[in-house]
């Protein structure tokens, strides 16, 4: 015989007033967040500029790596033939 799992009953049920109060609080927080975002001038353009500079740094690192490897290989071939 299996016993049924006891169901946890909340001590105090959530009422519509609780939900409405929480919704009002969240609306106030969203207003503050929007004000902070508006205070930052063109934050999306700043993020795009940072991403572009990051891509340029990666490109420069790859280019230098390939150039260094090619130069090292060339020097190695020259020294091996002597």
Three-state DSSP at 5 gives coil
pLDDT reading at 55 higher than 90: yes
pLDDT reading at 29 higher than 80: yes
Q: Provide the 8-state DSSP code for 77.
A: H
pLDDT reading at 53 higher than 90: yes
Q: Give me the residue spans of the domains in the chain.
A: 16-81
Q: How confident is the model at residue 14 (pLDDT cuts 50, 70, 90)?
A: confident
What's residue 23's pLDDT? 94
Q: Are 43 and 37 within 8 A, CB to CB?
A: yes
Q: How confident is the model at residue 4 (pLDDT cuts 50, 70, 90)?
A: low
Has this prediction a pTM greater than 0.75? no
81: its two tokens? 């033939």
In Å, what is the CA distance from 63 to each residue of 2, 52, 56, 72, 79?
69, 16, 10, 14, 24
């Amino acid at each position: 015989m299996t016993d049924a799992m006891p169901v946890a009953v909340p001590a105090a049920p959530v009422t519509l007033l609780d939900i409405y109060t929480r919704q009002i609080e969240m609306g106030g927080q969203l207003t503050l967040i929007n004000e902070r975002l508006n205070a930052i001038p063109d934050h999306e353009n700043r993020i795009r500029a940072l991403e572009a500079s990051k891509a340029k740094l990666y490109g420069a690192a790859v280019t230098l790596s390939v150039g260094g490897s090619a130069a090292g290989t060339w020097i190695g071939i020259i020294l091996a033939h002597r």
